[in-house]
Amino acid sequence: MMKPRLYLLKREIGRAIENPKTKVHFVVVDSDTSKDYPLNFICVLPRIQGLVNGHSVFGKIFGEDSVPLAKRLLSKALTQERDFEIKAEVERRLKMFSQKNNSCLGYCSGTKKFS
């Protein structure tokens, strides 16, 4: 049985020394397999569109539980994270869930909604 959790990585991208850009990577790891990344790597947590359309590895692994699991992982990461930039990115992703909540993120009562 897998015990998924988020492993958040921050990386500077670009070459601007005065104003470097950072990118946050959301990696799903199995805390039962190993304590060391990348040995415990499962997949990358996709953006909401990837969760809804079901074409992501995360969606294929976790199936119908992928959206609620993504919310739980993000919420837990938000409470545990201390880095300001990473925390802001986690909050942004969680906010996307609440903005998309009216459309049920493509799922309503556990069944996929087709248009």
Task: Indicate if the pLDDT at residue 113 is higher than 60.
Answer: no
For residues 72 and 78, what is the distance between their CA atoms, to the nearest angstrom? 10
- Helix (H) or strand (E) run with residue 30 in it: strand 21-30
Mean pLDDT of 8-34: 86
Q: What percent of the chain has pLDDT over 70?
A: 85
Instruction: List Cα–Cα distances, 73 to 1, 5, 18, 95, in angstroms.
Output: 17, 6, 33, 14
Task: Indicate if the pLDDT at residue 58 is higher than 90.
Answer: yes
74 with 62: CB under 8 angstroms? no
Task: Indicate if the pLDDT at residue 60 is higher than 50.
Answer: yes
| Residue 27 confidence class, pLDDT cut points 50, 70, 90 | very high
SS3 content of the chain, % helix, strand, coil (to 5): 45, 25, 30
For residues 78 and 75, what is the distance between their CA atoms, to the nearest angstrom? 5
- The 3-state DSSP class for residue 97 equals helix
Mean pLDDT of 57-84: 94
What confidence score (pLDDT) does residue 34 get?
84
| Residue 103 confidence class, pLDDT cut points 50, 70, 90 | low
Residue, of 72 and 104, whose pLDDT is higher: 72
